[in-house]
Amino acid sequence: MPRRRPGLARASVVLLAALALAGCPSGGPPPAGSGEGRGPLIVSCDQARRDSVQRSVALLGTLYGDEEATLSNKVTGRVHRIAADMGDVVASGAVVATLELEDFKLAESVTQRALESTLAKLGVDRVPDETFDVNAHASVVRAAAELQNARNKWNLVKDQPRGVVSEQQARDYETSVHVWEANVDTERLVAHALVAEAHERAAQLAVARQRLSDASIKAPLGARRWSVTSRFVSEGEYLKEGTPLFRVVASDPLRLKAAVPERYTPELRVGQNALLSVEAFGSRVFPGVVSRVNPSVDPANRTFGVEVVIPNPAGELRPGSFARGVVLTRTEEVTLVPIEAVVSFAGVTKVFVVEGDVARERIVRSGARHDQLLEVAGVDSGARVIVRGQTVVTEGAPVSVSAAAPAPPRRGDASEAKPPAGQEKASR
């Protein structure tokens, strides 16, 4: 019988002992949430709540003046005086520059004298209207009197015997009647011509006066005040007609012009309130109202234009500034949970709720964020959602709810908050 080796026996004993140890429980704590070997997991909860939220559409755009205009001269001339410069605020209709006026005044005087001469020929002191009777003109009255005298003479001699009045004298009297009839018609035509000339002289005078007025360049009508943004000429320059002199803008109110994606077409309409902010004023919010919505979508970028009117009585906001904001479209009832209650992993968004003493998983669809609260769909209002311990708990794990965690701050009123840059997500 062969003899056993002592080394081989010792190796066998060690191997058996290792296998025995591998098959025995390690004595360590069981996995979290397994409920084996330890008590329920301690968690903190908050309550899902139902609340009304403000839906809005984000805007990004540029502020423009309510009206903008380039002031040009209507008449040629040399610049005599500049009355405004960049940064000045001028009233509607105020003179901002004048050309040399002497030539325009002389032209007005010449046409005024010509009109007065024509009126003197008519024997009136103002331009005749359509009721003027040319038969009352002095030359027509004189010709008519001469005609009547010729007719009287002709009536006296035409029935006399030929021995009393010669044949030649009778024909002379008859011819005189025809001559004065023609003279009356001529004088009437002359009177009509003088009336027409008077109207022409009056029109020429009006043109001369208008040119004199146009030699003073004025701010446009239609706005309470205009701000001068640019000046292009100097005193002494000779200007052709239509030379740009100033660029002015009406800065109260201002208009925000923005392009909005076409998916928001059903959301926006005229009259909705808006909240705007400008970087220069930090968190300050300026109210506005939607004044125009373009009914057509631009096929090049699939957006449509929106204009918001912003009151600017103090002139604080400047045309050309970049502005961001939101249009408040509607309110909606949603379920809100603390943002820390939401767990996202591998593309799945979920929360854990406590039912009895057990954690239950709820797959949710998240929406807009409101301060420390998040909109979710898939959780009932009033459910207890886990806000501490939610990253280690599992479906069906026993839990013990500790004292309530401090409630996160409630969502602020949308009308008092600065419009956030990503607010458009709330209008899905």
Per-residue pLDDT of 202-244, as tens digits, reads 999 999 999 999 999 999 987 678 899 999 999 999 999 999 9
Q: Is 283 within 8 Å of 418 (Cβ atoms)?
A: yes
Q: DSSP secondary-structure letter at 278?
A: E
Judge whether residue 28 has pLDDT over 80: no
Taking only the tens place, the pLDDT of each residue in 369-428 is 888 899 999 999 889 999 998 888 888 899 988 865 444 444 444 333 444 444 444 343
Distance CA 86, CA 228 (A): 5
Judge whether residue 291 has pLDDT over 50: yes
Judge whether residue 277 has pLDDT over 50: yes
Q: Residue 120 burial by CB count (10 A; 0-12/13-18/19+): exposed, middle or buried?
A: exposed
Check residues 167 and 219 and name the one with the higher pLDDT. 219
Judge whether residue 147 has pLDDT over 70: yes
pLDDT at position 237: 94
Judge whether residue 335 has pLDDT over 70: yes
Q: Is 323 within 8 Å of 316 (Cβ atoms)?
A: no
Question: What is the pLDDT averaged over residues 306-328?
Answer: 92
Least confident of 98-102, 168-172, 188-192, 253-257: 168-172
Distance CA 235, CA 223 (A): 27
Least confident of 160-169, 231-240, 246-255, 386-395: 160-169
Taking only the tens place, the pLDDT of each residue in 56-105 is 899 999 999 988 899 999 999 999 999 999 989 999 899 999 999 999 99
- Within 65-101, residue ranges assigned H as helices are none
Question: What is the pLDDT averaged over residues 157-170?
Answer: 74
Judge whether residue 158 has pLDDT over 50: yes
For residue 51, the one-letter residue type is D
Pull the structure tokens for residue 124. 């009136």
Judge whether residue 11 has pLDDT over 80: no
pLDDT at position 219: 92
pLDDT at position 163: 64
Q: DSSP secondary-structure letter at 298?
A: B
Judge whether residue 16 has pLDDT over 50: no
Query: Half-sphere exposure (CA, 13 Å, Cβ side) for 168?
Result: 0
pLDDT at position 2: 45
Taking only the tens place, the pLDDT of each residue in 278-290 is 999 988 999 999 9
Distance CA 139, CA 159 (A): 31
Least confident of 6-10, 40-44, 324-328, 342-346: 6-10
Q: How many residues can be counted in the chain?
A: 428
Q: Is 406 within 8 Å of 49 (Cβ atoms)?
A: no
pLDDT at position 79: 95
3-state helix/strand/coil string of 5-28: CHHHHHHHHHHHHHHHHHHCCCCC
